[in-house]
Amino acid sequence: MNYQLNAGKRSKWRHIVQNPFLYVMAVPGLLFFLVFSYLPIYGIMIAFKDYDFAKGITGSDWVGFRNFDYFFTSDDFWIILRNTLMLNVLFIVFTTAAAVLIALMFNEIRNKYFKRISQSLIFLPYFMSWIVIGMIVQSLFGGEEPMINVWLHNIGMEPVNWMFESKLWPYILTVIRVWQGAGYLSIIFLASITGIPEDLYEAARIDGASKLQIVTRITLPLLVPTIMIMTLLAVGKIFNGDFAMIYAIIGDNSMLYPTTDVIDTFVFRSMRQLHDFGMSSAVGLFQSIMGLIFVIAANWVTRRVSKESALF
Amino acid sequence: MRLKRWFGTATTAVLVSSLVLAGCGGNAKNEGNATNSPSSTDSAAPAAKDIVTLKAYFPGDKPAGFDTVLQAVNDKLKADNIGAALNVNFMPWSDYGNAVSVKMSAGEEFDMYLDAPWISMNQMIESKSLMELDAAVAARPELKASIPEEMWEYNKFGGKIMGVPLGTTQGQLYGLLIRKDLREKYGLPELKTLGDLEKFLYAVKENEKDVKPFVINGIKADKLPFILSDSANLAKDEVLEIGVNMFSYSIKDKKVIGQWVSPTIADAYERVTKYYKDGIISKNIAQEQNAETLFKQGKYAATYYAADGVEGLKYSEMLKDGSDKLEIFIPNGEQAKPYTAYQQWNFLCIPTTSKHSDTVMDVMNWLSIKENHDLMEYGIQGKDWEPVGDSSYKVLSSYTFPGYVLTWRPTLNRTPDNMMPDDKKWFDFSTKTSNFTLSPIAGFNFNAEKVKTEYAKITPLHDSIFLPLSQGLIPAEEGKKTMEDKMASLGGQKVVAEIQAQIDAVTAGK
């Protein structure tokens, strides 16, 4: 046992010595996370302090859990929590499903140029700022005569008062999210599909497997670990509403709050007058801890089902 | 192979982005107090002062042509032997508040910056980070005289001048911008009352196919009840704007009440409800953000106006064709004498860490002399602007200095010559202290520290219920009831009690 462990260690060192550049390339990324993610963790204490920038983070007075009060005792706490989770679940499920589908389809395209062009096109929305997307959505659904209503009218359907129908917006937002994010995710999946050994496919073809069989028996099962990793990473942020997205699209339209108000937009509105660091940090801490719990739980479930797909 | 290349690209991306982010860290440092050299060798004056470079932080984008103007300002400062040169740093609005706080707590030395109660001023004062300026102001006659007495008096913090109040108007006068051509088309007389306005709006609705009656940005609609009330712009027995959203102060009962239950503007809530139902107020109001553009495009017959010197100017391009198709309707305009606390929203503050506070105040005094004021605010005469009389100017370049960060003085203000006559009339009206009534609670500034939790809980009600109520979207009765219920369940009465206590403390001292 001990010997094996040592052997593992030694081979890891050898790996580093043999591939120094691979590790050098990782350094900026590691530094990035160290400086911007790990070091700032000490700021968590702001959540438990009556933060006063003049006294500094360590000098401010401790207030226990007082900063958490306002959020947890808000009337709309449960609604906002539900919205955040519901929207994120919709986003994760549909974006992943769409991305897998797109990746599988891309994998079947043989024409090199068509493949490249369509890949770029489907990737493009990911680089669009939410502000721009928000404006597109406004012109489609907003204004006195939304463009969508003109289209509906042209095909003989009743116009819809989009900006008042809060029930429709979780779906609209999901569509927008899939359009924006699925392309990016599909590239990651496609990369992982490319890594599946060619001889597996060859063997399948020799055995007379159909295209569909190859996809369902080889490609999909071998893609599952990547899907799981991407999903687990997304689950970690399940308590974080996408502020940039929701605020750019919904803005201050109170009629849509019942289904689209998420933790982040709610906190933004609560703090518009107060600018209290402590209270907003408290909510941020809550989101992170819940995210952590969810990741651990999801990983635990994954391990039960298939060990090699789990993150840790 | 492709996979490898892809990872290579990804790593490069991470590398580049981390470098970019690292670059953000200390951008202000390299422009710091570099030019402290006593460079007054060529000056013939007997006691030329050493020149101190004053570092200033202001929000917003750097105005076009600013460097040239700043050079001229610094040259003149030198010629006038003030002993100062300005090093002005503009920071984007989005991080201005945070950046200044951080610089302050990090102990960075700078000499002046814009602060305000809506940025971080109260916290700064509480932490003793700002210099008291009473003595310095008293010793500088031009500065003192360029700002009316009321403005000094009612913009103190804890009885002290903690920043030079920057402003032009002395209070808020509300009204509507009206398409005069349409009014005349329907043979309606000049609008004097809300009744006249109503006739006009309904006439537009019934007769115009492509022009709709009234547009206002959704977020601005909390001002609608102040405009559409019989008591608009008058000093009745209620102070409507006390500086805390959604609340007002009843003078008669000496009580803090919610604006939604205010008897003074109850008629206005009925009106907005009716106007929304009848399609006078745009159905789109909840998410309207383009009121300005839509009005400019001629799609609406009326929009929001405030006599603040900014709102009316937005529409001056509509008159470029030489027409006079716009006019301003101020409800109760003839008798207008609204309450004001003479409160200003922007302050030039000096951090206690600055070693040159006297020089900063000398510069502030220098900027209160018309010639110097005009140089900083309007640019180089003949190149950027040209005087038109004493209180107006012709714009020649695209130089626009945000006066509210440094140079606004009610007595020195010039209006651009493209300001429409109605706008100039009401703006000039607003800059005179005597056209307003002193609010009985002047001096009150809400400090939410003690009721933070409750205040944070009721703040979202402004957007979710109070605003739709003011927009007419939620009918008056229903909206008022919802507001009451929600306020009660969220602990609003604690906030009210705290506001009340703070107002009582202010009024007791009078």
Residue B219: list chain A partners with CB under 8 A.
252
Mean pLDDT calculated for residue range B467-484: 94
- pLDDT tens string B283-342: 888 888 889 999 999 999 999 999 988 899 999 889 988 888 999 999 999 899 999 989
List the structure tokens of B176: 């509507």
**How many residues belong to chain A?**
312
- pLDDT at residue A1, as a whole number: 41
Residue A279: list chain B partners with CB under 8 A.
452-453, 456
- pLDDT at residue B267, as a whole number: 95
pLDDT interval class at A43 (50, 70, 90): confident
Residue A186: CB atoms within 10 Å: 25
Residue A276: list chain B partners with CB under 8 A.
452, 456
Q: Judge whether B96 is closer than 8 Å to chain A, CB to CB.
A: no
Instruction: Say if the Cβ atoms of A276 and B97 lie within 8 Å.
Output: no
Q: How far is B189 from chain A (nearest CA, A)?
A: 30
- pLDDT at residue B307, as a whole number: 93
How far apart (Å, rounded) are the C-alpha atoms in residues A73 and A283?
12
Instruction: Say if the Cβ atoms of A32 and B283 lie within 8 Å.
Output: no
- Collect all residues with Cβ–Cβ distance below 8 Å to A65 and sequence separation of at least 6: A48
* Ordered alpha helix ranges (H), B302-354: none
CA-based nearest residue to A187, from B109, B110, B5, B212: B5
pLDDT interval class at A54 (50, 70, 90): low
pLDDT interval class at B10 (50, 70, 90): very low
Strand pairing class (B326-329; A61-62): unpaired
- Give how far Cα B251 sits from Cα of A173, A219, B41, B343, Å: 48, 76, 63, 19
Mean pLDDT calculated for residue range B69-88: 95
Instruction: Say if the Cβ atoms of A273 and B459 lie within 8 Å.
Output: yes
Instruction: Say if the Cβ atoms of A254 and B468 lie within 8 Å.
Output: yes
Please give, one letter per residue, the 3-state secondary structure of B443-458: CCCCCHHHHHHHHHHH
Instruction: Say if the Cβ atoms of B128 and A54 lie within 8 Å.
Output: yes
Q: Judge whether A62 is closer than 8 Å to chain B, CB to CB.
A: no
CA-based nearest residue to B218, from B291, B300, B276: B291
Q: How far is A220 from chain B (nearest CA, A)?
A: 19
Q: Are B82 and B359 in contact (CB under 8 A)?
A: yes
Dihedrals phi, psi of B186, to nearest 5 degrees? -95, 10
Burial class from Cβ neighbours inside 10 Å (0-12, 13-18, 19+) for residue B487 reads: buried
Instruction: Say if the Cβ atoms of A28 and B15 lie within 8 Å.
Output: yes
**Sheet architecture: strand order including B255-258:** B238-239, B247-250, B255-258
How far apart (Å, rounded) are the C-alpha atoms in residues B226 and B331?
10
Q: Judge whether A276 is closer than 8 Å to chain B, CB to CB.
A: yes
- pLDDT at residue A56, as a whole number: 77
Mean pLDDT calculated for residue range A247-261: 89
Q: Are A259 and A171 in contact (CB under 8 A)?
A: no
Q: Judge whether A101 is closer than 8 Å to chain B, CB to CB.
A: no
List the single residue in B19, B127, B287 with the smallest CB-CB distance to A52. B127
> Which residue spans within B116-252 are E strands per DSSP?
164-166, 174-179, 212-215, 238-239, 247-250
- CATH number for domain A73-269, candidates 3.30.1240.10, 1.10.3720.10, 3.40.50.1370, 3.40.50.300: 1.10.3720.10
Q: Tell me: pLDDT of B484 over 70.
A: yes
Q: Which of residues 429-458 of B touch A (CB under 8 A)?
A: 448, 452-457
Q: Tell me: pLDDT of B9 over 80.
A: no
Residue carrying structure tokens 């945000």: B402
Instruction: Say if the Cβ atoms of A269 and B463 lie within 8 Å.
Output: yes
Q: Which of residues 238-267 of A touch B (CB under 8 A)?
A: 251-255, 257, 266
Instruction: Say if the Cβ atoms of A26 and B219 lie within 8 Å.
Output: no
List the structure tokens of A221: 């099962």
Q: Judge whether B279 is closer than 8 Å to chain A, CB to CB.
A: no
Residue B218: list chain A partners with CB under 8 A.
252-253
Residue B497: CB atoms within 10 Å: 14
- Give how far Cα B465 sits from Cα of A235, A274, B375, B452, Å: 33, 19, 46, 20
How far apart (Å, rounded) are the C-alpha atoms in residues A164 and A141?
11
Nearest CA in chain B to A265: B460
Residue B85, helix vs strand vs coil: strand
Percentage of chain B modeled with pLDDT above 70: 91
List the structure tokens of B356: 């040159």
Q: Are A174 and A166 in contact (CB under 8 A)?
A: no
Mean pLDDT calculated for residue range A203-216: 92
Instruction: Say if the Cβ atoms of A28 and B101 lie within 8 Å.
Output: no
Give the N- to C-terminal CA distance of chain B in Å, as an integer. 81
Mean pLDDT of chain A: 89
Residue A257: list chain B partners with CB under 8 A.
463-464
Q: Tell me: pLDDT of A277 over 70.
A: yes
| CA A185 to chain CA centroid, nearest Å | 10
Burial class from Cβ neighbours inside 10 Å (0-12, 13-18, 19+) for residue B294 reads: buried
- pLDDT tens string A115-150: 999 999 999 999 999 999 999 998 898 877 789 999
How far apart (Å, rounded) are the C-alpha atoms in residues B238 and B265?
10
Q: Are A192 and A112 in contact (CB under 8 A)?
A: no
Q: Are B483 and B450 in contact (CB under 8 A)?
A: no
- The domain limits of chain A are 1-45, 73-269
How far apart (Å, rounded) are the C-alpha atoms in residues A23 and B467?
56
* A79-117 residues labelled b (16+ CB within 10 A) or e (exposed): ebbebbbebbebbbebbbebbbebbbebbeeeeeeeeee
Q: How far is B94 from chain A (nearest CA, A)?
A: 13
- pLDDT tens string A65-108: 999 988 998 888 999 999 999 999 999 999 999 999 999 999 88
Dihedrals phi, psi of B308, to nearest 5 degrees? -115, 5
List the single residue in B11, B21, B287 with the smallest CB-CB distance to A142. B287
Q: Judge whether A56 is closer than 8 Å to chain B, CB to CB.
A: yes
Residue A34: list chain B partners with CB under 8 A.
none
Residue A266: list chain B partners with CB under 8 A.
460
Half-sphere exposure at residue B374, Cβ-oriented, CA atoms within 13 angstroms: 23
- pLDDT at residue A7, as a whole number: 52
- Give how far Cα B459 sits from Cα of A79, A97, A120, Å: 17, 39, 44
Positive or negative: CA dihedral B348, B349, B355, B361:
positive
- Give how far Cα B403 sits from Cα of B60, B130, B171, B344, B383, Å: 12, 21, 18, 13, 19
- pLDDT at residue B79, as a whole number: 94
List the structure tokens of B103: 């610089």
List the structure tokens of A29: 């990324």
Instruction: Say if the Cβ atoms of A54 and B126 lie within 8 Å.
Output: yes
- Give how far Cα B239 sits from Cα of B171, B250, B384, B467, Å: 12, 6, 42, 19
Give pTM, 2 decimals.
0.78
List the structure tokens of A91: 């986003």
- pLDDT at residue A201, as a whole number: 92
Positive or negative: CA dihedral B375, B380, B382, B388:
negative
Residue B492: list chain A partners with CB under 8 A.
none
List the structure tokens of A187: 């590239």
- pLDDT tens string A216-246: 999 999 999 899 989 988 998 899 989 999 9
Which neighbouring-strand residues pair with B385? B381, B395
List the structure tokens of A159: 């116009």
User: Which one-letter amino acid corresponds to residue A258?
Assistant: P
